């Protein structure tokens, strides 16, 4: 039953759009879900997409808008007058609506709010615009159903009826006191299974998990994941119920986090996709390439200092890639393991000293294994025992130092409030290249001075 957009279908629809064959487009789209239609629109140019939108009901169009990628959505809707945008916003949940309005110019934003059908929706959005996008307040929707602790079940059902159209997904009712402070929740299941006259006070669940408006979105996602929650209430500092975050928003946070981490680790400095234009792709890639290049030039300068040693023992040059590559690999592995601990917040009861001690042991084992193998192969490659010794000894220390740096760097970045994933990317590779060269050439220089 799931839908995957094919090039074939897209071509058919695009051709129909270009020939203004409304009937055909309507027929094709009627078979699709709104989330699928937004995938189609994502691939179309503005004119085509506007033609398609005109064929849809306001409600469907609104849902499609809420599914569009933000970088497609904002430029697209700016083709429409504020009044049309307001008609869509009427149907969009307050959290998504606030996200969209946040990206529009102040004047457009105020016009749209003025055009909204319901004063309540306008107030919701104005309230949400106060919060930073990456905290619980920026993630929550105002649409939720709350029940006063003094109500009976039938009163709660009346409230559900009143709000039914406004709140699409209801998993439970949040129970509040007269000051709107969150006390707990009642599941819809319990409402169905209770008598009309049962008091909410007698059936509600206390001590539920809630998040504060100012909590970071990563923390919210982690809490929802940990406690397996489909929705979590958001309260302010005084315990007042302010909104509700549903799991789909947390899933988006988790997905974006993972994507961002991969981009950082692989040396991409902006959020890009393969179908972005050449300029954006280049701009996202050049910064790290240039840093890597700067590292490479420093390396060249550094090796230059040992020109005389190289003249005496030119075969030393053969092993430069081995030294730098090993340093890079070991450093990245070490950072990655620390990153994982930081993400899981699971390293309780392990202090820095114990941590580094363990890193040291693992590094010694890896270092010995690699050094011994390399020593053997270097001799097999026809080099002298002398050179094989230099390579093996430096490799051992490179593994040790790279492990140490790879472990320390993410911990330090994290303490400084910088994204520790930076430590598993080109930065650590570049640093380790230089470190490796330093170890290699100093070792050679010292051993040859004897």
Looking at the Cβ atoms of 122 and 135, the one nearer to a second copy is 135
Taking the complex as a whole, the smallest distance from the CB of residue 58 to a second copy amounts, in Å, to: 20
Q: Of 215, 254, 255, which is closest to residue 233 (Cα–Cα)?
A: 215
Looking at the Cβ atoms of 77 and 221, the one nearer to a second copy is 221
Taking the complex as a whole, the smallest distance from the CB of residue 172 to a second copy amounts, in Å, to: 10
Structure tokens at 75: 């430029």
Looking at the Cβ atoms of 110 and 212, the one nearer to a second copy is 212
Q: Provide DSSP, 87-154.
A: HHHTTS-HHHHHHHHHTS-HHHHHHHHHH-S-HHHHHHHHHHTTS-TTBHHHH-BS---EEETT-BHH
Taking the complex as a whole, the smallest distance from the CB of residue 382 to a second copy amounts, in Å, to: 8
Taking the complex as a whole, the smallest distance from the CB of residue 15 to a second copy amounts, in Å, to: 13
Taking the complex as a whole, the smallest distance from the CB of residue 114 to a second copy amounts, in Å, to: 29
Taking the complex as a whole, the smallest distance from the CB of residue 267 to a second copy amounts, in Å, to: 5
Q: How far apart are alpha carbons 358 and 284 in whole angstroms?
A: 37
Looking at the Cβ atoms of 378 and 443, the one nearer to a second copy is 378
Looking at the Cβ atoms of 84 and 263, the one nearer to a second copy is 263
Taking the complex as a whole, the smallest distance from the CB of residue 192 to a second copy amounts, in Å, to: 6
- Which DSSP helix (H) or strand (E) runs through 395? helix 385-415
Q: Of 57, 66, 58, 59, which is closest to residue 95 (Cα–Cα)?
A: 66
Taking the complex as a whole, the smallest distance from the CB of residue 81 to a second copy amounts, in Å, to: 29
Taking the complex as a whole, the smallest distance from the CB of residue 289 to a second copy amounts, in Å, to: 6
Looking at the Cβ atoms of 114 and 347, the one nearer to a second copy is 347
Looking at the Cβ atoms of 138 and 299, the one nearer to a second copy is 299
Q: What is the 3-state secondary structure (H, E, C) of the chain?
A: CCCCCCHHHHHHHHHHHHCCCHHHHHHHHHCCCHHHHHHHHHCCCHHHHHHHHHCCCHHHHHHHHHHCCHHHHHHHHCCCCHHHHHHHHCCCCHHHHHHHHHCCCHHHHHHHHHHCCCHHHHHHHHHHCCCCCCEHHHHCECCCCEEECCCEHHHHHHHHHHHCCCCCCCCEEEEECCCCEEEEEEEHHHHHHCCCCCEHHHHCEECCCCEECCCEHHHHHHHHHHCCCCEEEEECCCCEEEEEEEHHHHHHHHHHHHHHHHHHHCCCCCCCCCCCCHHHHHHHHHHHHHHHHHHHHHHHHHHHHCHHHHHHCHHHHHHHHHHHHHHHHHHHHHHHHHHHHHHHCCCCCCCHHHHHHHHHHHHHHHHHHHHHHHHHHHHHCCCCHHHHHHHHHHHHHHHHHHHHHHHHHHHHHHHCCCCHHHHHCHHHHHHHHHHHHHHHHHHHHHHHHC
Taking the complex as a whole, the smallest distance from the CB of residue 223 to a second copy amounts, in Å, to: 5
Paired with 246 in beta bridges are: 231
Taking the complex as a whole, the smallest distance from the CB of residue 107 to a second copy amounts, in Å, to: 31
Structure tokens at 131: 């919060």
Looking at the Cβ atoms of 131 and 319, the one nearer to a second copy is 319
Looking at the Cβ atoms of 85 and 220, the one nearer to a second copy is 220
Taking the complex as a whole, the smallest distance from the CB of residue 311 to a second copy amounts, in Å, to: 6
Looking at the Cβ atoms of 106 and 278, the one nearer to a second copy is 278
Looking at the Cβ atoms of 105 and 321, the one nearer to a second copy is 321
Looking at the Cβ atoms of 126 and 154, the one nearer to a second copy is 154
């Amino acid at each position: 039953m799931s839908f995957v957009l094919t090039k074939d279908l897209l071509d058919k629809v695009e051709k129909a759009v270009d020939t203004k064959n409304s009937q055909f487009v309507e027929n094709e789209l009627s078979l699709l879900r709104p989330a699928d239609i937004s995938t189609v629109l994502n691939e179309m140019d503005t004119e085509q997409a506007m033609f398609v939108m005109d064929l849809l009901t306001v409600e469907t169009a609104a849902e499609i808008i809420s599914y569009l990628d933000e970088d497609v959505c904002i430029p697209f809707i700016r083709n429409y007058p504020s009044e049309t945008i307001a008609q869509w916003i009427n149907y969009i949940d307050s959290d998504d609506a606030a996200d969209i309005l946040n990206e529009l110019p102040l004047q457009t934003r105020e016009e749209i709010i003025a055009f909204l059908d319901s004063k309540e929706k306008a107030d919701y959005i104005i309230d949400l615009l106060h919060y930073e996008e990456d905290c619980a307040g920026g993630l929550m929707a105002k649409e939720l159903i709350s029940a006063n602790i003094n109500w009976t079940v039938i009163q709660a059902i009346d409230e559900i009826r009143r709000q039914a159209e406004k709140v699409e997904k209801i998993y439970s009712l949040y129970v509040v006191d007269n000051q709107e402070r969150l006390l707990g929740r009642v599941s819809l299941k319990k409402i169905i299974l209770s008598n009309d006259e049962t008091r909410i006070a007698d059936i509600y669940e206390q001590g539920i998990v809630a998040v504060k408006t100012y909590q970071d979105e990563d923390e919210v996602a982690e809490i929802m994941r940990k406690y397996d929650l489909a929705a979590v209430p958001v309260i302010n500092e005084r315990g007042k119920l302010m909104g509700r975050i549903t799991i789909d928003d947390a899933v988006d946070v988790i997905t974006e986090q993972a994507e961002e981490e991969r981009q950082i680790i692989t040396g991409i400095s902006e959020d890009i996709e393969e179908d972005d234009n050449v300029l954006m792709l280049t701009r996202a890639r050049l910064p790290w390439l240039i840093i890597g290049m700067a590292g490479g030039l420093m390396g060249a300068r550094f090796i230059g200092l040992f020109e005389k040693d190289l003249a005496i023992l030119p075969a030393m040059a053969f092993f430069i890639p081995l030294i730098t590559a090993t340093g890079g690999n070991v450093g990245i592995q070490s950072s990655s393991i620390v990153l994982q601990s930081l993400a899981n917040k699971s390293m309780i009861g392990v202090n820095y000293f114990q941590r580094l001690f363990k890193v040291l042991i693992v590094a010694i084992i890896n270092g010995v294994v690699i050094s011994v193998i390399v020593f053997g192969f270097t001799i097999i490659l026809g080099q002298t025992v002398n050179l094989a010794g230099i390579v093996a000894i430096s490799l051992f220390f490179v593994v040790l130092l790279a492990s140490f740096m790879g472990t320390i760097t993410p911990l330090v970045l994290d303490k400084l409030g910088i994204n520790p994933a930076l430590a598993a990317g080109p930065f650590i590779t570049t640093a380790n290249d230089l470190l490796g060269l330093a170890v290699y050439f100093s070792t050679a220089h010292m051993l040859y001075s004897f």
